[in-house]
């Protein structure tokens, strides 16, 4: 009998091929061991979890005033914090598919104060391109190989301007 895996949303059990891995935080331990905190979701729960996380263009999700306040300049972003940024997509640096089949795209983004690397997953990789201006709300900043990188984060929103 095939082993069944639990959906992290509805707790129903599915074959692994029916589940979608949601990227979580990537944890790197001092000894170099790396794991991620992502969880598996069935299609319905995945859709539910991600419906507010797609890129929106000039419509859709209402953003609270308090979330628009406090735009951080790129030069001032701090590691392990959430930030709101207004930035231009300067170029796509790379795209790769990891061993779990997840696509990871890296983009150089910036404002007048500096540049930072934005890391996006899966279908989000296709939804922005060079020249776009984005409003990233609740992006999460981490350090990787000595560089600051920003991810959308679980609660984040990327809005095309
Ligand atoms: Zn489910």
Reference 121, options 156, 88, 90; nearest CA is: 156
Distance of CA 18 from the midpoint of ligand 1 (Å) = 10
Residue 18 in this model has a pLDDT that exceeds 50: yes
How far is Cα 53 from Cα 61, in angstroms, rounded to an integer? 9
User: How many angstroms separate the most distant Cα atoms in the chain?
Assistant: 58
Distance of CA 46 from the midpoint of ligand 1 (Å) = 7
Distance of CA 9 from the midpoint of ligand 1 (Å) = 5
Distance of CA 92 from the midpoint of ligand 1 (Å) = 33
Q: What is the reported pTM?
A: 0.60
SS3 29: coil
For the chain, which domains are there? 4-50 (no CATH), 56-160 (2.40.50.140)
More confident of the two residues 34 and 7? 7
How far is Cα 122 from Cα 70, in angstroms, rounded to an integer? 28
Secondary structure (DSSP) of 71-88: BPPGGG--TT-EEEEEEE
Distance of CA 109 from the midpoint of ligand 1 (Å) = 35
Distance of CA 130 from the midpoint of ligand 1 (Å) = 35
How far is Cα 85 from Cα 119, in angstroms, rounded to an integer? 14
Distance of CA 123 from the midpoint of ligand 1 (Å) = 20
Reference 154, options 10, 11, 37; nearest CA is: 37
Residue identified by tokens 């997509």 is 89
How far is Cα 123 from Cα 127, in angstroms, rounded to an integer? 7
Residues having C-beta closer than 5 Å to ion ligand 1: 7, 9-10, 42, 45
Residue pLDDT, tens place only, 65-102 = 555 567 899 999 998 888 899 999 999 999 998 887 88
Distance of CA 5 from the midpoint of ligand 1 (Å) = 11
Residue pLDDT, tens place only, 126-135 = 888 899 999 8
């Amino acid at each position: 009998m095939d082993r069944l895996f639990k959906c992290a949303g509805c707790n129903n059990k599915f074959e692994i091929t029916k589940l979608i891995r949601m990227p979580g935080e990537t944890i790197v331990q001092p000894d170099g061991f790396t794991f991620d905190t992502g969880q598996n979701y069935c299609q319905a729960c995945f859709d539910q979890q991600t419906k507010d996380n797609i890129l929106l263009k000039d419509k859709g999700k209402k953003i609270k005033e308090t979330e628009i306040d406090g735009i951080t300049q790129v030069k001032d972003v701090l590691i392990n914090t959430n930030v709101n940024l207004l930035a231009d997509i300067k170029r796509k640096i790379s795209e790769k598919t990891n061993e779990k089949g997840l696509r990871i795209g890296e983009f150089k983004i910036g404002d007048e104060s500096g540049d930072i690397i934005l890391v996006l997953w899966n279908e989000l990789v296709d939804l922005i391109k060079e020249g776009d201006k984005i409003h990233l709300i609740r992006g999460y900043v981490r350090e990787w190989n000595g560089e600051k990188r920003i991810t959308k984060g679980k609660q984040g929103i990327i809005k095309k301007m």
